[in-house]
Chain A
């Protein structure tokens, strides 16, 4: 038996808490330091950003950089494009993924297991393996330089995740509901749309978020499939700004921060659903 004096336990607890807090404080500094430096730069004038020695905190904070990014550069258009692309990617990949997930969950058709494995395997495909021919395909059907071509690619990339996630969710909804629908004379598609899907709405949060974030954060596909300014997404706009001969750091950092804002907000509000879904999806395979 292990009998311990209460004082020892208290001391041990306190030591553990101290170690944890030190670790957490260090990690908070590690996580935030680069972001804070960016925030500080975005609030400086160009002259102050380049003044030496460097200033940690802007002496005369200004929002000029935040104004410039909308006026000197078409970031308004980039944002609009990113919003359209990410929003539609989220909706379409969730809808098509749910359709497939329902099919996998409810029907024992021939080749089902192989098809499930196929969905999983496509997740291993690297973007650079397929993007060249996909680019040629888009050019052939005149979808090069369109948001449509970009959305089709993003939706497809999200589909395996969306299908697996929603299959898991549908598996947890009792089949008796479907049966009762059949008894009432509803078609399979009506059962999916009117009975099962409404119950599965909480399960779609993680797939919606996955699609939106993937499309918002991607660079590779947008870089290869978009070459005209008015179709650029935010990440592409930011990437091109950093490639310019003279970099206006306050404007670039301001644009980067604003460009990250939607994803930061979404993650922080919805991370619980996302993480649960991810952990469940990962454990299930």
Chain B
């Protein structure tokens, strides 16, 4: 009975996974190869003639190099912000205090706002004349310049954007860490207390090791998301002033859909994906090893 059934089972296994596999191949994998091919095609060229000129151009393009740097800075500060705010709130929310549910729901609000809307909110909050941040700062520091232009400032536009992204993104890290905290067995804390460990020691020796894996996973997933962040940047700063807040996804989008230099945009997209892949290798190995 076994051999006939096994063949049958295999057969059906393919049928079940076929629709999803075909869609992934058609919508994501095939276009990814088209992009790769296009990135090697001479500008306006057709068929199978290849060139590396777009990549040579890319390595000498100051705007692209600046944008790579911007993206790294954007991702690094966003992750740092998400982890700091997320961990602090996860710890505060893990104490079964009265009113905890209310605070948890409120802390989740920024996560529920679409990126487009988050960008618009911050544009309006930071509006130099009619926004509310400048008056608020002036209430505390009367010397603060009136009509301060946050998003046109070469020094402060980028920090403003990162601030908005920290606001938008910390809840996801927070809930993952909260789930991690809840999974730490109570008796570990009790055992540490019996051994004479104080609060701080218990945090260092029980909480942090217990959260280690989930922190790495949360940061790895967050890195992939922040590396690709698009709508927030586009609606809040549009990459400006100049190209000072441009990130890779907005640059590729503009090069392809606004400047119509398809081949060069493809080369940039390939480089972007290659870097993201390299950055996520440690995570892939980690997950592979733990399975």
Q: Would you give the shortest CB distance from B282 to chain A, in whole angstroms?
A: 13
- B121–A216 CB distance below 8 A: no
Which of A16-24, A73-81, A200-208 lies at the binding interface?
A: A16-24
* Residue among A12, A104, A257 making CB contact with B17, cutoff 8 Å: A104
29 contacts between A and B (CB under 8 A): A20-B92, A24-B92, A28-B107, A97-B20, A100-B19, A115-B21, A122-B24, A124-B224, A124-B280, A125-B32, A126-B273, A132-B34, A133-B30, A133-B32, A133-B38, A136-B34, A156-B27, A159-B23, A217-B115, A219-B116, A219-B231, A235-B116, A253-B124, A259-B114, A259-B117, A260-B114, A271-B175, A275-B176, A282-B221
Known: A23-B88, A263-B113. A34 touches B97 (CB 8 A): no
* Residue among B9, B196, B249 making CB contact with A2, cutoff 8 Å: B196
Which of B47-55, B57-65, B252-260 lies at the binding interface?
A: B252-260
- A256–B120 CB distance below 8 A: yes
Q: Which residues from chain A contact B175 at a C-beta distance below 8 Å?
A: 271, 275, 278-279
- A256–B9 CB distance below 8 A: no
Give chain B's interface secondary structure class.
Answer: helix
Known: A17-B97, A267-B111. A242 touches B123 (CB 8 A): yes
B interface residues, Cβ below 8 angstroms from A: 9-17, 19-21, 23-24, 26-32, 34-35, 38, 85, 88-89, 92-93, 95, 97, 103, 105-117, 119-125, 129-132, 135, 167, 175-176, 178-180, 193-194, 196, 199, 213-214, 217-218, 221, 224, 227-228, 230-231, 234-235, 248-249, 252-253, 256-257, 262, 265-266, 269-270, 272-273, 276-277, 280, 287-288, 290-291
Q: Would you give the shortest CB distance from A274 to chain B, in whole angstroms?
A: 9
Q: Which residues from chain A contact B116 at a C-beta distance below 8 Å?
A: 217, 219, 235, 238-239, 256
For residue B178, which residue of chain A has the nearest CB?
A275
Q: Would you give the shortest CB distance from A89 to chain B, in whole angstroms?
A: 12
For residue B19, which residue of chain A has the nearest CB?
A96
- A134–B114 CB distance below 8 A: no
For residue B109, which residue of chain A has the nearest CB?
A31
Q: Which residues A188-222 have CB closer than 8 A to chain B?
A: 188, 192, 216-220
Q: Would you give the shortest CB distance from A133 to chain B, in whole angstroms?
A: 4
- A153–B27 CB distance below 8 A: yes
Q: Which residues from chain A contact B103 at a C-beta distance below 8 Å?
A: 24, 27-28
Q: What CA separation (Å) do A20 and B224 show in the bound complex?
A: 31
- A128–B10 CB distance below 8 A: no
Q: Which residues from chain B contact A172 at a C-beta distance below 8 Å?
A: none
A67 on the B face (CB < 8 A):
no
Q: What CA separation (Å) do A220 and B194 show in the bound complex?
A: 55
Give chain A's interface secondary structure class.
Answer: helix
- A256–B121 CB distance below 8 A: yes
A35 on the B face (CB < 8 A):
yes
A53 on the B face (CB < 8 A):
yes
For residue B196, which residue of chain A has the nearest CB?
A2
- A54–B167 CB distance below 8 A: no
Known: A20-B97, A263-B114. A54 touches B23 (CB 8 A): no
- B179–A96 CB distance below 8 A: no
* Residue among A12, A31, A130, A252 making CB contact with B107, cutoff 8 Å: A31
A102 on the B face (CB < 8 A):
yes
Q: What CA separation (Å) do A156 and B194 show in the bound complex?
A: 53
- A126–B228 CB distance below 8 A: yes
Q: What CA separation (Å) do A126 and B275 show in the bound complex?
A: 12
Q: Would you give the shortest CB distance from A56 to chain B, in whole angstroms?
A: 7
Known: A24-B103, A107-B16, A133-B35. A125 touches B28 (CB 8 A): yes
* Residue among A103, A155, A268, A279 making CB contact with B16, cutoff 8 Å: A103
13 more contacts with CB within 8 A, not counting A128-B228, A271-B108, are A21-B97, A31-B110, A38-B124, A106-B9, A109-B13, A129-B272, A137-B31, A157-B27, A242-B123, A267-B111, A276-B179, A279-B180, A284-B291
Q: What CA separation (Å) do A52 and B182 show in the bound complex?
A: 49
For residue A220, which residue of chain B has the nearest CB?
B230
- A37–B121 CB distance below 8 A: yes
- B17–A132 CB distance below 8 A: no
Q: Would you give the shortest CB distance from B238 to chain A, in whole angstroms?
A: 9
* Residue among A49, A130, A256 making CB contact with B28, cutoff 8 Å: A130
Q: Which residues from chain B contact A132 at a C-beta distance below 8 Å?
A: 31, 34-35, 38, 256-257, 262, 265-266, 269
Q: Would you give the shortest CB distance from B113 to chain A, in whole angstroms?
A: 5
* Residue among B31, B106, B262 making CB contact with A134, cutoff 8 Å: B31
Known: A32-B106, A282-B218. A54 touches B130 (CB 8 A): yes
- A156–B28 CB distance below 8 A: yes
- B112–A267 CB distance below 8 A: yes
Q: Which residues from chain B contact A24 at a C-beta distance below 8 Å?
A: 89, 92-93, 103, 107
Q: Which residues A137-191 have CB closer than 8 A to chain B?
A: 137, 152-153, 155-157, 159-160, 163, 188
For residue B104, which residue of chain A has the nearest CB?
A271
- B124–A37 CB distance below 8 A: yes
- B29–A122 CB distance below 8 A: yes
Q: What CA separation (Å) do A80 and B213 show in the bound complex?
A: 42
Known: A242-B123, A253-B124. A108 touches B97 (CB 8 A): no
- A125–B273 CB distance below 8 A: yes
Q: Which residues from chain B contact A2 at a C-beta distance below 8 Å?
A: 193-194, 196
- B235–A129 CB distance below 8 A: no
